[in-house]
Structure 1
């Protein structure tokens, strides 16, 4: 199972982490990946100036914005899941 952790610390929260989580939840459900992707909130990833921070498996992605979540999903999550 692919673990996806979105930082919900103060800085990332102010930069829209709640929106990022909601969009990812919707995409995971839309693509039927609930049994392949574990989405969770996480505390600080020590990258506060670069937020929103998302950890996908062992990869740390910084600067995630609401309008870039779909591209992130396609490139970093969907391609790692089986059809």
Structure 2
């Protein structure tokens, strides 16, 4: 599974670094490093949506506060 996190200016200011760190932590905790690839990208053109995160081609708006719930609800159900 490929997860792409926007690291463009707007998403950076909204916490993309914290989102990346949160996802890395959850991937480690769940021993999923061999199944999930994290990737960064510059602007996705959806700046008003917050930190833009794509799973394959599906776009989500994630914040540092919602990263754990995003992982539980969207990532885990797709990886198992």
Scaled by the length of structure 2, what TM-score is found?
0.95
Scaled by the length of structure 1, what TM-score is found?
0.92
CA drift at 1:51: 1.6
SS at match of 2:44: coil
CA drift at 1:36: 0.7
Show the counterpart of 1:6: 5
Show the counterpart of 2:70: 72
Question: How many residue pairs were aligned?
Answer: 80
Show the counterpart of 1:54: 53
SS at match of 1:60: strand
Please list the CA deviations of residues 24-75 of structure 1 after superposition, one character each: whole Å capped at 9, or x if unmatched: 000001100001110111111100111210001121002x111110110011
Q: Which runs of 5+ in 2 are unaligned?
A: none
Runs of 4 or more off by more than 6 Å in structure 1? none
Show the counterpart of 1:17: 16
Q: CA RMSD in A?
A: 0.8
